[in-house]
Amino acid sequence: MTLSSLRQQFLSGETTPAALLRQLAGDIAARDGTTGAYLSHDLETALAEAEKADLSLPLGGIPIGIKDNINVLGQPCTCGSRFLSENYTSPYDATVIRKLRAAGAIPFGRLNQDEFAMGSSTENSALQTTRNPVAPDRIPGGSSGGSAAAVADGTAIATLGSDTGGSIRQPASHCGVVGLKPSYGRVSRYGLVAFASSLDQIGPLTRSVEDAARILQAIAGHDPLDTTSLDEPVPDYVSGLEEGVAGLKLGVPKEYFGEGIDPGVRAKVEAAIQKLAAKGAEIVEISLPNTSHAVATYYIIAPAEASSNLSRFDGIRYGRRAANPSDILDLYKKSREQGFGPEVKRRIILGTYVLSSGYYDAYYGRAQKVRALIRRDFEDAFRHVDAIVSPVAPAPARRLGTCADDPLQEYLSDIFTLSANLAGIPGISVPCGVTDFDGGTNLPVGLQILGPHLGEATLLRVARAAEA
């Protein structure tokens, strides 16, 4: 059900927030043992909030699942890591949680993810495996794999995820749901456990474009607690959804349709673009010439920021602490060695290297220059088109375990999503069909729509036309 239809049922008395929560808890008990989207859920606390729900509010009484790197007062926030899984309870609400509560929503459930959001499959979680509800032998995508899988499995009405290089859009594509990454600065990051601070954004995963617009409406806006939050007016994202695409120019980047894209994905995305053309959009071929440098640039900048952000996990202030260290240096070493998984260690080591004396200019400094070129590519493109349409991922969801010994293949799966984070622009994944891949049938494919910075209203308008 959509948020609007649930609200109507609440207002008519057909059901209540408490009844819905009990039904969701039953669904989680019945199905999540296979899917593994939830790390935990606190039904009693949610029921207490449901009894006080103000149904007149935009999201009154609606339960929203939360990725486990977003802080909710009194709840665990494990980030999918052993480092925080034993004894950390959040002492505060993230700004997005405070805003959801102000809109009447009820945070319900902690959703699995790649450890500290570092991954594209949710296989890097230290706590459990999450499977794709559409095909349980496949990954749900990542790092917000639990958030996408719960919506696809019907065990959540809507969820929040975070997107650093595609971590909302790619799992949304693989699971056949809608996933929206807002512009950098549109949604506060306060209370999101930082991975790469210049790239991270929080956004919704939903069953419909309208639901994504409604949740964005609730969580967007300036926050003085986040110095990167923009003090800009928030438009009405819902009112313009049905305006259609007639008269809009949609850019198709030639670099996103070259070698490496699965033929089935290409066919579905091209068919979706033609349907938008039939609705009156003008399709324009464009070039984003620095696309080929995006993966290398991202995997210098993101690990560099991660190595700095994760230095706070030292075994002293909070989280896992190694037993019986010989001295304080041994405490640091053993706590981090025992607490972090292999992918997190890999990125910390890489980030520390590119920031080290003698290598900073050669790697990190140069990557920042290339990032500026990637941003300029988009700025030039949006002088000629209203939005950009492309695949979300080169292929549908792969089988579990197929990239376990080859992290580079996992990194390349985000080749079409990374650039939006580097440029700070918004992007959305909308289901556009199913295809066969690697022995699997009817696997979801997502259409990615990118807009100019703070162009979410146009982005959602195009997404709604594609959905329709």
204 in Cβ contact with 212 (< 8 Å)? yes
Measured CA to CA, the distance from residue 201 to residue 206 in angstroms comes to 16
Answer whether 216's CB lies under 8 Å from 451's CB. no
Give the tokens for residue 143: 């790092």
Q: What is the token pair recorded at 119?
A: 């991954």
Do 35 and 157 meet the contact criterion of CB atoms below 8 Å apart?
Answer: no
Active-site position among 81, 85, 121, 167: 167
Mark whether 67 is an active-site residue.
Answer: yes
277 to 193, 381, 430, 435: CA distances (angstroms) = 41, 19, 16, 22
Roughly what angle, to the nearest 10 degrees, separates helices 342-355 and 294-309? 100
Evaluate whether 430 touches 466 at the Cβ level (below 8 Å): yes
How many Å apart are CA 458 and CA 178, to the nearest integer?
16
Cα–Cα distances (Å) from 445 to 8, 134, 265, 391, in that order, read: 31, 12, 6, 8
**In the annotation, is 333 catalytic?**
no
Selected catalytic residue, list 90, 120, 143, 162: 143
**DSSP assignments along 178-220, one per residue:** EEEEPPTTTB--TTBPPSSTTT-EEEEEESSHHHHHHHHHHHB
DSSP state of 120: S
Q: Is 147 a catalytic residue?
A: no
Report yes or no: 225 and 179 within 8 Å, Cβ to Cβ. Answer: no
Which ranges of 235-278 would DSSP assign to H, the alpha helix? 263-278
334, two tokens: 């053993």
Between strands 427-437 and 440-450, the pairing is antiparallel
By the 10 Å C-beta count (0-12 exposed, 13-18 middle, 19+ buried), 259 is classed as: exposed
DSSP 286: E
The catalytic position among 67, 181, 268, 334 is 67
Active-site residues: which are they? 67, 143, 167
